[in-house]
Chains A and B, each alone.
Chain A
Amino acid sequence: MKRDYPDYLIIGGSAAGMAAAQAIREKDTKGIITVLSEEPDMPYFRPLIPYVVTGKKKAESIGLSGNGPYTGAGIEIHTGARVDSVDTSRKSVGISGKDQLSYDKLLFATGSSPYIPPELEGTDACGVFALRKLSDARAMAQRAESTRHAVMLGGGLLNLKAAFALLELGVKVTLVIYSPEVLSQLMEPEDAGLIRNALDKAGLKIITGRSAKSIISDKSGVTGVSLDDGSEMPCQMVCIGKGVRPNINFLSGSKIAIDKGIVVDRYTTCNNPHTFAAGDVAVTFDPVTGDRIMTALWTNAVEMGRCAGYNMAGAKTAYSGTFGIMNASQVADEPFVSMGIVHTKDSAYEVHVRATRSNYRKVVFSRDGERLVGVLFIGDITGAGMYRYLIRENKQISKIKSHIVDQTLHYGHFLKG
């Protein structure tokens, strides 16, 4: 039977999936949009879950629908629906324990899951977390009630946010990181001084150059962590923040091309014209380096998801890629923005740093000095978006370079540059 309107099926109800659904609705008012989400909760703002741990926000108040650009109107959402097979020749997907669902256009927006190092023993004990889902946040809040000391493995942003949530609850927190400094993905140790000072001042204990060997537990759950130097730390909670991996297992046996993540072209289309991918699960590219990359950032997932949505609805839209490194946040009252190429040690990039007691602003130019390729701002992050624009659009900056180096750039220079 031929239907009048296309059937859009979206696997994954987080940033990329919901942004795509909203974008499809903008272009196509009649098509049927169905979102399948594996989680039991209705779509929510994932970055807000640390606030659910502290109790500052209620789980009910962080839903997507009705907030920001998400109206939720005309979008059918099925929660607890796990897809376990995809048949692109019959244009249908299999839902675990349920029927097949057919589609006209399909989006993979399945996101990513925390990476749990296989060599780390004892990770299935009660009290071991990798803060990713709303259900993790609820369980963590509960476990925190009987936790005096928590050990965080990994010094990335997500673990720092979890660490601060626990500190707020009065839990003693120790961060164990293998790298020489926190946030090593976003900045070099030499550049992280202000952040490190702020973390130390906030009462976070940090051990560097160490990794955990095993998690010790009894019937009460976690009781300690044993480190690679033979030492043991008693604790009642362990939080693993070792990065994420794309959720692609459900595609085994399908004909969708995979290279770590799902491979797409500039129009977010997979190797099959009716299927698309966006967000953490998709392989994208960095406009600065040209590298094929995968990112795990809400903002990137939304941008790519919207692009995929437009393409699914027939409005051909190229995705302009994103920086492998890009994030803005605030840890321990210290704001920062990091984007583009910021790891410059032993490189030929032209680097300028302006540092004061409370501010650190590093700008990185290409080897020939003609283009801006990265910035790291800590403390004063004013105007960061202008720099992002210059990096992303690969702008010739010779006329305004002195303003970039002197940190006096403002939008007026773009008008009269």
Chain B
Amino acid sequence: MHEPKEIFVNTSRCTACKTCEISCAVAHSRSGNLYGALQEKPTPKPRLYVEWVSPDVNVPILCRHCEDAPCVHACISGAISRNKESVVTTDSDKCIGCWTCVMVCPYGVIGRHLETHKSYRCDRCPDRETPACVSSCPTKALVYRTVKSFSKDVRKEAASKMIAGEGE
């Protein structure tokens, strides 16, 4: 069976350069390029947020497309649903800007277009092979993988660290 890919974050590689934020906003602009995006009104917004945790950790935070997503059920206008690729999507035609999704999202990753009274979130770039944030990340802090393959790498890395530790 086709296993959907997800965006994973490797915080130890993130330098908070915010290239992902820019490329996300550009990817969701009408013009599709930086110079055009800068001219647009309302200003295209990024759908992920690089945050800093003292003293030295940077964390890109974005919609997890939760398996049991609170926003899908909380929405009072039927605007939020899960598509065939397992991506939780907000239909902006149906969104009435009541912000109930903002109230229930425990990750705080649902944004608001104040000009249009619509909420927005990561849509995993449906028209791209790889989401814009991932393909633009210069340090590979963001990766687009299946859960299986990502967790395998995490295990491998942990194992090699253990072995290295024993060797000392």
Q: Give the B-binding residues of A (Cβ under 8 A).
A: 19, 45, 47-48, 51, 62, 64, 67-70, 298-299, 302-303, 306, 326-330, 335, 337, 339, 381-386, 388-389, 409-413, 415-416
Specify which of A45, A335, A412 is in contact with B52 (CB 8 Å cutoff). Answer: A412
8 CB < 8 A contacts A-B? A19-B73, A47-B77, A302-B74, A303-B73, A381-B102, A384-B108, A385-B107, A410-B51
Type the 1/0 row for B87-112, where 1 means its CB is closer than 8 Å to any CB of A.
Answer: 00000001011111011111111101
Across-interface contacts of B104 in A (CB, < 8 A): 299, 385, 388
- Would you call B73 and A329 a contact (CB within 8 A)? no
Complex-state Cα separation, A386 to B49, whole angstroms: 15
Closest B residue to A328 by beta carbon equals B103
Specify which of A67, A326, A412 is in contact with B59 (CB 8 Å cutoff). Answer: A412
Type the 1/0 row for B50-90, where 1 means its CB is closer than 8 Å to any CB of A.
Answer: 01110001010100000000101111111111100000000
Max count, chain A CB within 10 A of own CB: residue among B49, B53, B73 = B73
Across-interface contacts of B53 in A (CB, < 8 A): 412-413, 415-416
Closest 9 CB pairs of A and B: A67-B78, A383-B108, A68-B78, A412-B59, A385-B105, A328-B103, A47-B76, A389-B106, A410-B51
Q: A45-B77, A67-B78, A69-B81 are in contact. Are A411 and B100 (CB under 8 A)?
A: no
Specify which of A62, A64, A337, A416 is in contact with B99 (CB 8 Å cutoff). Answer: A337
Specify which of A70, A330, A389, A416 is in contact with B98 (CB 8 Å cutoff). Answer: A330
Closest B residue to A303 by beta carbon equals B73
Max count, chain B CB within 10 A of own CB: residue among A67, A70, A413 = A67
- Would you call A386 and B107 a contact (CB within 8 A)? yes
Residues facing A in B1-55 (CB within 8 A) are 11, 49, 51-53
Q: A47-B98, A411-B59 are in contact. Are A298 and B52 (CB under 8 A)?
A: no
Q: How many A-B residue pairs have CB under 8 A?
A: 121
- Would you call A299 and B76 a contact (CB within 8 A)? yes
Complex-state Cα separation, A60 to B61, whole angstroms: 38
Closest B residue to A46 by beta carbon equals B76
Specify which of B74, B82, B106 is in contact with A386 (CB 8 Å cutoff). Answer: B106
**Taking the nearest CB of chain B, how far is it from the CB of A48, in angstroms?**
6
Specify which of B52, B81, B109, B117 is in contact with A68 (CB 8 Å cutoff). Answer: B81
Across-interface contacts of B97 in A (CB, < 8 A): 330, 335
**Taking the nearest CB of chain B, how far is it from the CB of A221, in angstroms?**
30
Q: A330-B97, A384-B103 are in contact. Are A48 and B76 (CB under 8 A)?
A: yes
- Would you call B51 and A412 a contact (CB within 8 A)? yes
Across-interface contacts of B110 in A (CB, < 8 A): 385
Complex-state Cα separation, A406 to B133, whole angstroms: 29
- Would you call A388 and B98 a contact (CB within 8 A)? no
Across-interface contacts of A409 in B (CB, < 8 A): 108
**Taking the nearest CB of chain B, how far is it from the CB of A208, in angstroms?**
26
**Taking the nearest CB of chain A, how far is it from the CB of B93, in angstroms?**
10
Across-interface contacts of A415 in B (CB, < 8 A): 11, 53, 59
- Would you call B81 and A385 a contact (CB within 8 A)? no
Across-interface contacts of A413 in B (CB, < 8 A): 53
Specify which of B49, B94, B102, B109 is in contact with A67 (CB 8 Å cutoff). Answer: B94
Q: A45-B78, A328-B98, A412-B51 are in contact. Are A69 and B103 (CB under 8 A)?
A: no
Complex-state Cα separation, A94 to B107, whole angstroms: 46
Across-interface contacts of A302 in B (CB, < 8 A): 73-74
Closest A residue to B54 by beta carbon equals A416
Across-interface contacts of A389 in B (CB, < 8 A): 106
**Taking the nearest CB of chain A, how far is it from the CB of B105, in angstroms?**
4
Q: A48-B77, A67-B81, A328-B98 are in contact. Are A388 and B72 (CB under 8 A)?
A: no
**Taking the nearest CB of chain B, how far is it from the CB of A392, in angstroms?**
9
**Taking the nearest CB of chain A, how far is it from the CB of B68, in angstroms?**
9
Across-interface contacts of B109 in A (CB, < 8 A): 411
Q: A299-B74, A381-B102, A412-B59 are in contact. Are A68 and B108 (CB under 8 A)?
A: no
- Would you call A411 and B103 a contact (CB within 8 A)? no
Complex-state Cα separation, A290 to B168, whole angstroms: 54
**Taking the nearest CB of chain A, how far is it from the CB of B8, in angstroms?**
14
Please name 11 further chain A to chain B contacts, defined as beta carbons within 8 Å, in addition to the given A48-B76, A410-B61, sorted by A numbering: A48-B77, A67-B79, A302-B73, A328-B103, A339-B103, A383-B102, A385-B107, A388-B103, A388-B104, A411-B107, A412-B53
- Would you call A306 and B73 a contact (CB within 8 A)? yes
- Would you call B108 and A330 a contact (CB within 8 A)? no
Across-interface contacts of B61 in A (CB, < 8 A): 410-412
Across-interface contacts of A303 in B (CB, < 8 A): 73-74
Across-interface contacts of B78 in A (CB, < 8 A): 45, 62, 64, 67-68, 70
**Taking the nearest CB of chain B, how far is it from the CB of A339, in angstroms?**
7
Max count, chain A CB within 10 A of own CB: residue among B77, B80, B110 = B77
- Would you call B108 and A299 a contact (CB within 8 A)? no
